[in-house]
């Protein structure tokens, strides 16, 4: 039994890449999709489900829309005027909403549409100014 317990402990450490033997009790991030909970020298590796990533603020898996980059998609809307904004890192195929300094999540454009900043809706690229669309901006 002692050998089996030693094997399981070593196997868990090898799989997660983190050894809790001499670590303080706590949460240790392995990557965006997993972390290790250490307690009394023992480690439990946690893998986040699809659509969830490790959130260091809460020490657990969380919806990726509520976690800051690089792991999540949360955006800091502090001091950002109310409105909808294109997700440039998604090539404008989605957009996000800021209201009263709060982030209200991402919305995705259907099919091959992109977010049109001028109209505030998803539109065809040939109707949208660059960088989201194909239409050159007029000289202002």
Provide the CATH number for the domain around residue 48.
2.170.140
Position 1 scores a pLDDT of 44
Q: Which domain holds residue 132?
A: 75-140
Higher pLDDT, 86 or 68: 86
Max Cα-Cα span within the chain: 77
Position 100 scores a pLDDT of 95
**Burial (CB count <10 Å: 0-12, 13-18, 19+), residue 22:** exposed
How many structural domains compose the chain?
2
The answer for 79, left when phi > 0, alpha when psi is -120 to 50, beta otherwise, is left
Report residue 66: phi and psi, to 5°: -110, 10
- High-pLDDT (> 90) share of the chain, %: 60
Q: Do 127 and 91 fall into the same domain?
A: yes
Q: Do 95 and 53 fall into the same domain?
A: no
Position 9 scores a pLDDT of 36
Position 62 scores a pLDDT of 95
Position 140 scores a pLDDT of 58
Q: In this structure, is residue 70 part of a structural domain?
A: no
Q: In this structure, is residue 67 part of a structural domain?
A: no
Please state, rounded to an integer, the average pLDDT across all residues of the chain. Answer: 85
The secondary structure element, H or E, covering residue 6 is helix 2-16
Q: Do 115 and 84 fall into the same domain?
A: yes
Rg for the chain (alpha carbons), in Å? 22
Distance between CA atoms of residues 131 and 125, nearest Å: 10
Position 133 scores a pLDDT of 97
């Amino acid at each position: 039994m002692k050998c089996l317990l030693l094997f399981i402990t070593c196997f868990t450490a090898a799989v997660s890449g983190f050894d809790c033997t001499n670590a303080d009790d706590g949460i240790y991030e392995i990557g965006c999709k997993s972390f290790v909970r250490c307690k009394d020298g023992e480690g439990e590796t946690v893998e986040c489900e699809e659509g969830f990533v490790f959130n260091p603020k809460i020490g657990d898996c969380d919806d990726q829309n509520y976690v800051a980059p690089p792991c999540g998609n949360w955006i800091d809307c502090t001091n950002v005027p109310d409105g909808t904004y294109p997700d440039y890192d998604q090539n404008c195929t989605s957009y996000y909403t800021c209201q009263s300094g709060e982030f209200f999540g991402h919305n995705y454009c259907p099919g091959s549409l992109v977010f049109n900043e001028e109209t505030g809706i998803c539109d065809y690229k040939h109707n949208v100014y660059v960088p989201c669309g194909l239409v050159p901006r007029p000289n202002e």
